[in-house]
Chain A
Amino acid sequence: MSFSKRLCVGVLLLFSVCLSSADDSEFSQKLAALTTTKLSEMSAAVEDVANTGKEQALPYLDALLNNQLYFRKSDSKLFRIDTSKDPAIMTEVAVDKKLEGADTSDFKKIIISNSVRTKLREVMARLQLASSDTKLRARAAREMLGAVTESDKPILEEALSKEKNDEVIALLKAAIALPQLDSGTAAQRLAALDNLEGNVEPAVRNRLNQLLEKNADGTFIETDVAVRSRASVVMGTIESKLQRYRLLETIFFGISLGSVLLLAAIGLAITFGVMGVINMAHGELIMLGAYTTYVIQQWLPNQLELSLLLAVPAAFVVAGLVGIAIERGVIRWLYGRALETLLATFGISLVLQQAVRTIFSPLNRQVATPDWMSGSWQINSVFSLTLNRLYIVVFSLIVFALLSLLLKKTSLGLYVRAVSQNRAMAKAMGVRSDWVDALTFGLGSGIAGMAGVALSQLTNVGPNMGQAYIIDSFMVVVFGGVGNLWGTLVGSLALGVANKFLEPASGAVLAKIFVLIFIILFIQKRPRGLFPQKGRSAES
């Protein structure tokens, strides 16, 4: 800045340079104010920065909104610091240059509150309307819809004249139309309503609702009959569109809950369904998978994606080996004695829990989620699919496909099916049944471990996490039909969707109870589940 000042003094004739440097210095003053302003006056300071700086204020405002704007204690220069990486990435905002080797303790963060955040979004939206990124423009237009006034009309119309994207055009048109509903003539209001048709934005819906409301004395707020009837038609189209999206959303929620159930239960479908072992430690094998994810993340703190990718096979191996150890050490002595197996594996589950408590502490562990797995896929403002759930649905289907391929197409799968259907005959044919038992149990346990990796992205990783899934897993396997993988798939998805349809009506607590009662009644009617096994193995 001092350079441009000198330029000013030196070359007085260059008037324009002086003017722009005056603007610059005002801007830098306003920026400097950010470092000293009290939290209660921050909103005004932010507005000042946006008004004087225009586009060049955006990087500062963006950093501030993301809680990443710091200033150096020595010279109050502003930096963007990303502390989620180690070492932290520091960028001087004014020159967009990285700073190497500095210590974060030399910097102080500029703290903002929710009211400042609201202000930031509002002022940034005005600036971002001209952005080259379609997503940003859509977000800005959407943001403006919430608090649009007549005075915004020029910038909105200017943006609209340049806009090519249909989604943004619709949003901009709505933003121009909304204030007209307040002030225009009846004809203008009717025209404005045309621009709002099919728009599911909450701001639009609420404004339309107001048009249809009555005053305290029973007269309509909106005096014109034609406008009123048009508004109710437009509202009707919006409502029916909303209903459709809500239904889709509920189905997605159900499928996503179902896929979690599927992941938790599919390992059990092998150990309990195929082998007939009641394994109460199944939940703890899931927990081991989740802890494996945690440990690998500790080893590779800066490579989230890689660590998660590595965690899947690692969890399979860890949980699988523990499973084989359980089978060789305990369960093989107890085949045919279901009650003792149940008690012994329950004991194992307690041992595993306490072991984890001793090694990792009883506190929950923090497993980080990669950025591409958080957030949601925004289809429109009322319908979005959360990404982590979406990936888990895909993951569970892949696991299911691989597992059924393994059982159908490989020789191990053939042995497993042979032993489970008729042990004596399989033995007579030269199948080493005890070896097959160990591998089958290891396979089921390993898959439980893989489920743990997925669950670590959704919920707490702690010593008790397995217990939350053991009941649900048994429920799914019994409902779907013991010994039938397809039954587990259909059972888990059906239970998930049913639960999610019940939940809004009855609340989460009752929904769970209803599902449980339903299963009890269902099992009374069909003791062998949805898809009972047929043929010789069914009679044994």
Chain B
Amino acid sequence: MNRFRSMLRNVALTTAVSASAFTALTAHAADTIKVGVLHSLSGTMAISETTLKDTVLMMIDEQNKAGGLLGKKLEPVVVDPASNWPLFAEKTRELISKDKVSVIFGCWTSVSRKSVLPVIEELNGLLFYPVQFEGEEGSKNVFYTGAAPNQQAIPAVDYLMKQGVKRWVLEGTDYVYPQTTNKILEAYLKLKGVAADDIKINYTPFGFSDWQSEVASIKKFGSAGKKTAVVSTVNGDANVPFYKELGNQGIKSDDIPVVAFSVGEEELSGIDTKPLVGHLAAWNYFMSVDTPENKKFIETWHKFIKNPKRVTNDPMEATYIGFKMWVQAVQKAGSTETDKVEQAMIGQTITNLTGGKAVMGKNHYLSKPVLIGEIQEDGQFAVVSQTKEVAGDEWSDYLPGSKDLIADWTAPIKCGNYNTKTKTCGAK
């Protein structure tokens, strides 16, 4: 298997090298601006990422219809990293060195982003990352348009606290995003005066399907007389049997509400939502939000994808915001050069699809509002709470190791991990 894979890699590399030599020779006149799309179109992540590829294509299409950018047409370059993390790095190299793309929209899982990171920094490219994640990263070459933990997890916990929740179950799938998020949440809850006895952290394997004991222990934990809630970072497929078991064991959303960070419209469209009604999700965007911008976005999406039943979701909005901001930044800089665009990006403002403004911060994170929604029977969310715009916090204030770190890409700091205590860059 391994030998086969490395053979494939060699073949891919040689073709890439010869192809880039070829393009260098022809030295074509740049009459288009190339936009790289780096989303898995096959393998396990294809379910989620294909939608984002289509979103970028739609945005490019719209921009071209509106006259292109700097007088040139935009040209998408779509590659398929096939849910294979090392392949993400190779495809990035190919996009920048061979195809000479000006910007890349891509990645979903954190591990794929980590794989792209060294390449994009080495070749000085630009990546827009549109998915909610654990934060704890700062790069000059990456713009994070998805939510950091303080833009999703912490407001959700705040909301539940207001509802009188005193006991917490942090239930997650066993990998990096749930573990980091739960670490942050645990520190935050303790800071808010929650006793260690009132926090229960539990992990299950990927694709876990036998939730009987887990749900029974949640039920037991929740019967101690204090209002209890579950904060779920359970990922993907495992959610369906989890919610089914909750329903079957008679845990109602008003007894023990579950707030999820990985369950959105797209995930709900494939399952029976009856047992989920009333449980919560926290995102920066819901399809059900009634604003003129959102209505137009949904209409455009349905027309582009030629299916009026397709839903929109939060990572799509993050892609939308990222793309629009990039267009504005290129116009402001008058060029697609990475360094100029990077500086022009900071401070860019876009009207959110949910109302209000998204602003790109000095740390390359967005500030945007946080919405809490209750799941409805039709697979949509009814918004029960909406915050003002929250600025993304790149290094969590609640983790001991990263409390003093910030990212700031304006002069004079220009650093992704600047320690405010020691006044040095590169502390971590």
Contacts and interface: CB of A to CB of B under 8 A. Distances in A.
A260 B210 contact: yes
B245 interface: yes
B254 A67 contact: no
B174 interface: yes
A507 B203 contact: yes
A364 B47 CA distance: 9
A374 interface: yes
A376 interface: yes
B247 interface: yes
Interface in B254-277: 254, 257, 269-272, 274-275, 277
A374 B212 contact: no
B410 interface: no
B163 interface: yes
Contacts of A366: 270-272
A249 B249 CA distance: 12
Contacts of A387: 248
Contacts of A504: 213, 217
Interface stretch (A26-34, A316-324, A393-401, A455-463): A455-463
Contacts of B44: 464
Contact of B174 (A250, A376, A509): A509
Contacts of B224: 202, 206
B209 interface: yes
Interface string A244-258: 000001100100110
A117 interface: yes
Given A206-B224, A386-B245, A500 B374 contact: no
Nearest to A242: B220
Contacts of A362: 46-47
A114 B213 contact: no
Interface in B227-256: 237, 240-241, 244-245, 247-250, 252-254
A113 B252 CA distance: 12
B272 A202 contact: no
Contact of A117 (B205, B248, B278): B278
Contact of B377 (A83, A256, A260, A464): A83
Given A458-B209, A459-B209, A375 B248 contact: yes
Contacts of B270: 363-366
B252 A369 contact: no
B384 interface: yes
A504 B253 CA distance: 23
Nearest to A256: B212
Given A67-B377, A114-B374, A458 B241 contact: yes
Given A111-B382, A203-B225, A118 B271 contact: no
A249 B208 contact: no
Nearest to A388: B248
Given A376-B248, A458-B241, A364 B205 contact: no
B213 A500 contact: yes
Contacts of A117: 252-254, 278
A252 B213 CA distance: 10
B316 to A, nearest CB: 16
Interface in A186-203: 202-203
A386 B212 contact: yes
Contacts, number: 124
B217 A121 contact: no
Interface in A88-130: 111, 113-115, 117-118, 121
B49 to A, nearest CB: 11
B261 to A, nearest CB: 18
A12 B210 CA distance: 68
Contacts of A364: 237, 240, 270-271
B9 to A, nearest CB: 21
A388 B245 CA distance: 10
Contact of A84 (B202, B241, B274, B376): B274
Contacts of A376: 248-250
A384 B250 contact: yes
B348 interface: no
B contact residues, range: 35 or more
Contact of A500 (B212, B277, B384): B212
B277 A67 contact: yes
A149 interface: no
Given A363-B270, A364-B271, A460-B237, A114 B253 contact: yes
B176 interface: no
A389 B212 CA distance: 10
Interface in B84-109: none
A226 B421 CA distance: 60
Contact of A121 (B174, B203, B240, B254): B254
Interface in B164-220: 174, 202-205, 207-210, 212-214, 216-217
A508 B241 contact: no
Given A206-B224, A459-B209, A508 B248 contact: no
A250 B252 contact: no
B223 interface: yes
Nearest to A371: B274
Nearest to A117: B254
Contacts of A305: none
B157 to A, nearest CB: 15
Contacts of A365: 270
Contact of B382 (A113, A257, A508): A113
A508 B201 CA distance: 12
Contact of A468 (B174, B203, B207, B377): B207
A412 interface: no
Contacts of B376: 67, 111
A256 B214 CA distance: 14
A460 B241 contact: yes
In the complex, which of the residues B163, B203, B257, B271 has the most CB atoms of chain A within 10 Å of its own CB atom? B271
A364 to B, nearest CB: 4
B206 to A, nearest CB: 10
Nearest to A468: B207
Nearest to B278: A114
Contacts of B377: 67, 83
B173 to A, nearest CB: 10
A322 to B, nearest CB: 23
Contact of A459 (B216, B217, B240, B250): B240
Nearest to A500: B213
Contacts of B208: 508
Interface string B143-169: 000000000000000000001000000
Contact of B209 (A114, A249, A468): A468
Given A117-B254, A206-B224, A386 B248 contact: yes
Contacts of A114: 163, 253-254, 257, 278, 280, 374
Contacts of A458: 209, 241, 244
A471 to B, nearest CB: 12
Contacts of A253: 212-213, 216
B241 A257 contact: no
B214 A508 contact: yes
Contact of B202 (A363, A374, A375, A507): A507
Contacts of B174: 509
A388 B246 CA distance: 13
B341 to A, nearest CB: 35
Contacts of A375: 247-248, 250
Given A363-B269, A364-B270, A366-B272, 4 more contacts: A249-B216, A364-B271, A366-B271, A458-B209
21 contacts: A67-B376, A114-B163, A117-B252, A121-B254, A206-B225, A362-B47, A363-B269, A364-B237, A364-B240, A369-B244, A374-B244, A375-B250, A382-B223, A384-B250, A388-B248, A458-B241, A464-B44, A464-B237, A468-B207, A503-B213, A507-B202
Ordered nearest first, which 5 A-B pairs have the shortest CB separation?
A206-B225, A202-B223, A117-B254, A386-B248, A459-B209
